[in-house]
């Protein structure tokens, strides 16, 4: 176990608690924390916005990518779309599919988490048949055979948990049924649609292992199960079934919205909720140094209340090592409590180890994003 050096201390003029009742002469709070939002932390009160830089040189900077524009995202096999952000724990891609896959695929490197940004499809896999639609998370365990038949063109965010398994977060004192009740999780069924696809037709399975693809040919369709039992399966969760934790007096950290836990990263979901109503409570995400994690946000739908000029299908990337937080207009709107409800839906991936971004991601980067805090203030 890691034992932190802890010594709670107060210095100068500061608030009594984090994220509330700031000093009148220092309205900008900055949190410097370790181990995501679970380790020791210090809360600074500044006279100027911590994101108020005038110039930036070097590679460590906030970035924005438009994943709507990724070249080679349209493929019949997901293993041929490019990685966009990745490390040895997690690989992030987008995949567009408008027609039925000609065969099956299998990921032998790790669990696959699909988030359906757009579209609808019929999923057929070893466990049966499942209809998936916009807003669904679909967790596919490692080495599962599967294929998709779109009924509406698909735009999928793919989050691979490399060489590991997904789990649900510990919910602690709020209990197992908070955020979402496991009873809302759906699994595939051995139904009539699944039975109808039994066949003696030659079928190929494209298996990915160590980022190389092997092809296995069967003289029949291997999705021929007549039944199964156990506690391992493909599972589906729609963001509309998530009931977020809320506090009217305290702005909860992103970790309170964790949906899935990977090996070396977490996947969080931001969904519509009331904004904090207490007069002294912070009403937008706080400025923070998340110095042990890289943060990736995929914007799915709604009004992204802490960001300017961000559209659905875009991604922001805030690497560890600098302070980030709301854009100036959003910060001011929060102070004035102009909104009482946020209607954004976004997927966040927090990675413990540094993420690399590929050439495919660089091709859709907005190089001016680093200056968007300054531009919005002018």
pLDDT digit string, tens, across residues 306-318: 566 789 999 999 9
Confirm if 103 and 79 have CB atoms less than 8 A apart: no
Three-class DSSP category at 217: strand
Q: Residue 26: what are its φ and ψ, rounded to 5°?
A: -150, 80
CATH fold of 28-65+241-377: Jelly Rolls (2.60.120)
Helix or strand run (H / E) with residue 375? helix 372-377
In 275-374, where do the E strands start and end?
287-290, 294-301, 314-318, 341-342, 345-351, 356-357
Confidence (pLDDT) at 204: 98
90-164+176-239 in CATH: which number? 2.60.120.10
- The pLDDT value recorded for residue 377 is 40
Which residues belong to CATH 2.60.120.10 in the chain?
28-65+241-377, 90-164+176-239
R_g of the chain computed on alpha carbons? 22
Backbone φ/ψ region at 309: left (φ over 0), alpha (ψ -120 to 50), beta: left
Q: Annotated binding residues for Fe cation, as ranges?
A: 288, 294, 324
Given the residues 43, 117, 129, 251, select the one marked as catalytic.
Answer: 251
Element (H, E) at 258: strand 258-261
pLDDT in tens, 113-127: 999 999 999 999 999
Read off the pLDDT of residues 200-223 as tens digits, 9 standing for 90 and up.
999 999 999 999 999 999 999 999
pLDDT at 361 over 80: yes
Active site residue 210: no
Least confidently predicted of 19-23, 215-219, 264-268, 356-360: 19-23
b/e code 169-196 from CB counts within 10 Å (16+ = b): beeeeeeeeebbeeeeebebeeeeebee
Tokens 């908070």, residue? Answer: 178
């Amino acid at each position: 176990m890691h034992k932190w050096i802890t010594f709670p201390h107060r210095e100068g003029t500061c608030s009594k608690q984090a994220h509330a009742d700031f000093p009148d002469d220092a309205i900008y709070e900055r949190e410097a924390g370790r181990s995501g939002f679970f380790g020791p932390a210090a809360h600074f009160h500044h006279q100027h916005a911590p994101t108020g830089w005038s110039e930036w040189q070097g590679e460590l900077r906030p970035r924005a990518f438009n994943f709507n524009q990724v070249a080679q995202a349209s493929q019949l096999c997901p293993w041929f779309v490019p990685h966009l952000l990745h490390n040895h724990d997690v690989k992030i891609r987008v995949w567009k599919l408008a027609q039925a896959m000609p065969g099956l695929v299998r990921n032998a490197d790790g669990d696959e988490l699909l988030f359906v940004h757009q579209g609808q499809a019929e999923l057929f896999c070893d466990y049966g048949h499942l209809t998936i639609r916009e807003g669904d998370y679909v967790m596919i365990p490692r080495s599962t055979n599967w294929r998709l038949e779109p009924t509406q063109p698909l735009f999928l965010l793919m989050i691979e948990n490399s060489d590991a398994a997904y789990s649900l977060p510990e919910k602690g004192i709020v209990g197992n049924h908070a955020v979402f009740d496991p009873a809302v999780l759906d699994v595939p069924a051995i139904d009539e649609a699944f039975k109808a696809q039994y066949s003696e037709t030659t079928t190929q399975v494209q298996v990915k292992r160590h980022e190389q693809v092997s092809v296995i040919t069967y003289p029949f369709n291997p999705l021929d199960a007549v039944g199964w039992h156990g506690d391992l399966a493909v599972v589906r969760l729609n963001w509309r079934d998530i009931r977020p934790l809320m506090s009217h007096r305290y702005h909860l950290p992103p970790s309170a919205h964790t949906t899935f836990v990977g090996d070396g990263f977490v996947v969080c979901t931001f969904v519509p909720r009331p904004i904090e109503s207490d007069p002294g409570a912070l009403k937008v995400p706080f400025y923070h140094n998340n110095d042990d994690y890289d943060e990736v946000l995929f914007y799915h739908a709604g009004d992204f209340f802490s960001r300017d000029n961000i559209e659905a299908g875009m991604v922001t990337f805030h690497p560890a090592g600098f302070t980030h937080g709301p854009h100036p207009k959003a910060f001011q709107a929060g102070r004035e409590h102009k909104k009482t409800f946020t209607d954004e839906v976004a997927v966040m991936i927090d990675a413990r180890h540094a993420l690399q971004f590929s050439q495919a991601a660089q091709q859709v980067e907005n190089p001016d994003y680093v200056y968007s805090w300054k531009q919005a203030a002018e």
